[in-house]
């Protein structure tokens, strides 16, 4: 009997959360309409460089994984002990963070260059 209460309470909690979010969103939109505002303004503004940003981020993450793989293979070889496998995880996360950040920095520089070019 005790084991079934957890899934039921999780389901009811998730349902209540979704219902509450929809209810409050509807109330917010109705209040905006009553004040004479357009509830759809400003929510879906175009973001011209969004695909460039995500593309360079994913390329950076992929390159980070490849560099981490080659680094791990160079440092530890193909057969690793259990202790060495625990030391590999920070290397992967470190390279993913470094190269993902470099991808975002490159995206920023490309966007900045394009915006400055459009001004003149």
Q: Is the pLDDT of residue 1 over 70?
A: no
Residue 44, pLDDT score: 61
Higher pLDDT, 36 or 119: 36
Instruction: Tell me the percentage of the chain whose pLDDT exceeds 90.
Output: 52
Tell me the three-class secondary structure of the chain, residue by residue. CHHHHHHHHHHHHHHHHHHHHHHHHHHHHHHHHHCCCCCCCCCCCCCCCHHHHHHHHHHHHHHHHHHHHHHHHHHHCCCCCHHHHHHHHHHHHHHHHHHHHHHHHHHHHHHHHHHHHHHC
For residue 42, is pLDDT > 70? no
Reported as a pLDDT band with limits 50, 70 and 90, residue 10 is very high
Mean pLDDT (whole number) for 28-41: 86
What's this model's pTM, rounded to 2 decimal places?
0.59
């Amino acid at each position: 009997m005790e084991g079934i209460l957890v899934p039921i309470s999780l389901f009811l909690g998730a349902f209540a959360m979704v219902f509450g979010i929809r209810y409050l969103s509807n109330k917010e939109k109705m209040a905006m309409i009553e004040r004479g505002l357009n509830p759809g303004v400003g929510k879906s503004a175009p973001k011209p460089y969004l695909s460039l940003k995500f593309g360079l981020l994913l390329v950076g993450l992929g390159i980070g994984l490849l560099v981490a793989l080659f680094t791990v293979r160079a440092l530890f070889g193909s057969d690793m002990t259990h202790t060495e496998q625990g030391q590999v995880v920070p290397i992967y996360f470190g390279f993913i963070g470094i190269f993902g950040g470099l991808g975002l920095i490159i995206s920023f520089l490309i966007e900045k260059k394009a915006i400055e070019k459009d001004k003149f």
